[in-house]
Structure 1
């Protein structure tokens, strides 16, 4: 199993990454602000405009260190990954399944079952833990709609029908999402999902965390030999990591959404750590990104019992474990892909 080691986050917009004696060197304004051995890292996530040297990229590929680039606002650009774990036979099977709608549907259905199940669990958990602070009737009603959607997913006969069910289920889930925000309601509220750009603080936080989660899913899929750009549910587009987006669907509620809500509900993230642009878009400030990244790394170290394997693992390993299960299903070692359904 892939072990979760340290991840280096570079959040300064003007930082440049280079290589020196198998170390990653972080430079800012002609000064060295950090130097870390590559062998001690699992991944590097850079939120800088300046990028990294080709020498560092090559050494990261050689050492199996994932090097990912984001905009300072959290938009994912690309990753540099090595040749380890590439498996042409596995990928040929993946491509065949992606081109066969009946096979693709079986995988896509599993992803969406996991997503809707976990959305419903998030609502029910909040209702249970904060019964006196939330609109119980609304949450119960939306939870019931999600339960009905699960039945529709199991019975759907096409990818297009599945996308329609997923879209309606997402609306039902987000209709009650504002009830899950328990403090600072004047600053943190949710009316509807908005992207490119996010139009409020909650959407800005969700978009940033979704970018982090997408990167983990992409790295996990690359690590087991699957092509993260050929999906079963999301349509193939140049530059779109469709399979990573497929895989992250089941993780959005229990990993990204709950993490974001915890930051808000505990006061860990402050309203002042967001910036409003002239076009109305809202983004995390440099301080906000650092707060989120520190909490994200801490969250990934917490342990859970995996619902399918029954083994204790760190939260940060979940995308890697599910990637491995997906690869085994594609190879035929498992009868079907078991989605991550948190209990």
Structure 2
């Protein structure tokens, strides 16, 4: 199993990334503020406008260290990666399946079943642990409706129908999501999912965590030899990592949503950590983004027993493991793609 190395998150928009020997050198106003050995790093994510030196990008590509660039608001802009791994046979198989809607649906429905199941578990855990603090009837009704959607997804053979089932299930899940918010409800309210721009603190945090997860999932897919831009449920669109969005579906509830809820309920983030811009977009402050990234990295170090592999892995390796299982399915080593199902 792959070892989880460090992801370096550079949250200061004034930091310029450069190479010093075999070290990542962080410069601010031409002064070194930190230096990190490259052999300890598997990825770099930077938020800002200063960029990175050609020498650093070249060395990172040589050492297979991905560099992801985000806007200061957390919007993914692009990624620098090294030489493509894996063999051409695997990618050709991926491309052939992506052109066949029936075969694509066979894979995609497992991902959507996984997503709906994990959404159910988020809601079930809230009822189980906090029954006296939530509208139990409302949450249980949502869970029952999600079970129906999960059954429909499991039998679906059409991509269009599957997208409709997923959309309806997401609407049901989000209708009960606010019940999972137990503290600071006057600040962290959730009426509906909104983005581009997010209009409240919860949506700002969800969008930020989804951007991080998408980047990490894309890197994991490339790492096992798959093309992150060619998906099965999400069809081809220039510049969109469609396969990463596919694999992300089952990971959103258990990785991103779970993390955001934990931060809110543990009061690790508060009202002062957000800014409302002129267009009503809500974004994290620079200090809040730094805190978010530190806690995100810490969360990735926690361990879990993978339900399919029956092995203990770190949370941060889940995208890599799912990418590996998808590659094994495409190679014919597995009868079906096994989504991760967390109880």
Query: TM-score if structure 2 supplies the norm length?
Result: 0.99
Do the aligned residues in 2 keep the contact of 1:300 with 1:314 (CA within 8 Å)? yes
1:272-320 deviation digits (Å, cap 9, x = unpaired)? 1111000111011101111110110010000000000000000000000
Do the aligned residues in 2 keep the contact of 1:64 with 1:84 (CA within 8 Å)? no
Whole-Å Cα distance in 2 between the matches of residues 246 and 281 of structure 1?
27
Do the aligned residues in 2 keep the contact of 1:218 with 1:241 (CA within 8 Å)? yes
Within the alignment, does 1:268 sit opposite 2:268 as a pair?
Answer: yes
| Residue 37 of structure 1: how far off its partner (Å) | 1.2
Whole-Å Cα distance in 2 between the matches of residues 143 and 277 of structure 1?
36
Q: Which moved more, 1:64-73 or 1:224-233?
A: 64-73
| Residue 241 of structure 1: how far off its partner (Å) | 0.3
SS across alignment from 2:280:
coil
Do the aligned residues in 1 keep the contact of 2:14 with 2:48 (CA within 8 Å)? yes
Do the aligned residues in 2 keep the contact of 1:201 with 1:274 (CA within 8 Å)? yes
SS across alignment from 2:105:
helix
SS across alignment from 1:130:
helix
Whole-Å Cα distance in 1 between the matches of residues 272 and 12 of structure 2?
18
1:120-162 deviation digits (Å, cap 9, x = unpaired)? 0110011000000010000000000000001111222310000
SS across alignment from 2:288:
helix
SS across alignment from 1:249:
helix
| Residue 48 of structure 1: how far off its partner (Å) | 1.9
Whole-Å Cα distance in 2 between the matches of residues 86 and 29 of structure 1?
41
Whole-Å Cα distance in 1 between the matches of residues 142 and 57 of structure 2?
47
Matches within 5 A, 1:12-23: 12-23=12-23
Unaligned runs of 5+ in 1: none
Q: What does residue 219 of structure 1 align with?
A: 219
Whole-Å Cα distance in 2 between the matches of residues 87 and 217 of structure 1?
19
Within the alignment, does 1:254 sit opposite 2:254 as a pair?
Answer: yes
Query: TM-score if structure 1 supplies the norm length?
Result: 0.99
Instruction: Tell me which stretches of 4 or more aligned residues in structure 1 moved more than 3 Å.
Output: none
Whole-Å Cα distance in 1 between the matches of residues 154 and 46 of structure 2?
40
Instruction: State the number of aligned residues.
Output: 343
| Residue 56 of structure 1: how far off its partner (Å) | 0.7
Q: What does residue 229 of structure 1 align with?
A: 229
Whole-Å Cα distance in 2 between the matches of residues 330 and 292 of structure 1?
36
